[in-house]
Structure 1
Amino acid sequence: MNVIIDNFDLFFQGFLKTLGIGLICMVGSLILGTIIAAFRVSPVAPLRAVGTLYVNLIRNCPLTVVLFLIAFGLPTIGINQSYYFFGCSALIIYTASFVCEALRSGINAIPAGQAEAARAIGLGFTQNLRHVILPQAFRTAIPPTGSVIIAMFKNSAVLGVFGVSGDLLGNAIILTGSRGFDPVPVYLGIGFFFLMITIPAGLVLGYLERKAVILR
């Protein structure tokens, strides 16, 4: 425990950096996942094909493969950014495929009569999706989407190994490597700070799920 107390500032800085990465990637993956889910249920065949291809390719690749493809593939086409940018981009792209499928399950759970009624009053596909389908789908898909987001916060640890400095796992590597501390208490501390992210996230998602049940 002395390791955690003596280096609490480093742990806390890593906690804030990891939390920031998670929040950025959560927003990005929700936006991108919603767009891909709209592609997946679109009446336009090419858009459905793009959505299906995206999900099947990204969801079945390991996160580390996506990270390396982004970090070493984008510079070859002239996009040169920091590892932080590449890491967050890869995590957003990867997580969005799971968010898409969670939302699609919510869309499929909506009775077909809802969409038919929207078309009957003259709403187009985009209007139907925005005003009728997605608001209901988001409420239905809260539990699976919440699980995806919590998994994303945990997956953000990979970015520390990948080269993103200052996050929890990156600081753990500093403490156990260059400073020579015992790995066991260091990683127990890392686990504790990850729980400080995931447990409140689970409680918030549980509250949202209960609210969604009331709204339905």
Structure 2
Amino acid sequence: MRAQQRARRAGTRPRSNHTLETALTILRALALFLIYQRNNNDWALVDVHDIEAFLATLPTARKRRLVVLGQFFRFARAQHIVLIDPTRNMTSKHSKGFRGRTLTLDQQRCLFRRWTTSEEVHPHEAVVGMLALLHGASSSEARMLQVNDVDQQAQRVRLGKRPHPVPLDPAPWTVVQRCLAHRAAWRTDNPHVVVTKGTKAGRGPASTAYLPHVLDDCGFPPG
């Protein structure tokens, strides 16, 4: 608040009351977290593990929260409230790993068996599902996959804009071959692996509305 007053006197842009309230709300949330979740009633005992645990409770706000905590602990260290700033070497960058929802192992095994053993499953569902399950292929990559992208000798496929072809294990390779056999039955000149009734007479890929619903029968969306 003193910095806010100095900025007003100097004619520079002061922090708004909303910014100050947001910072205080974050500090209050940290204090409650330390007391009730970490059994810690002393700022001097706060370490980097406490801060990481607090930030993990709301990952999307990590950057904003870390800025506020850094400001507070620098102030606290200057006032000799703490000896060490636990946020000094922390970064606001998120890990690059996948952070979305995933299937359980039992669900993955069930789908794997469904797409590799059941003759009643449509070839499009099987190929889209297996490429997504084992190779993280998006609906767009499966939709744009063409026959020329399938290397029959090396048993690999080129997916989207990936820099290198993707080698396939026997299970997904068998599923791709089944989809190609289904395509051949259409007697079409369409170059894509996934060919529908609406695209067999042309050369365009399946519609963007078709792919998201290919996996409806298995109960799980492509994502």
TM-score between the two structures when normalised by the length of structure 1: 0.21
Larger RCO (CA within 8 A; separation ≥ 6): 1
TM-score between the two structures when normalised by the length of structure 2: 0.21
Q: Determine which structure has more spread, i.e. the larger CA radius of gyration.
A: 2
> Of Structure 1 and Structure 2, which has the larger fraction of its residues in helix?
1
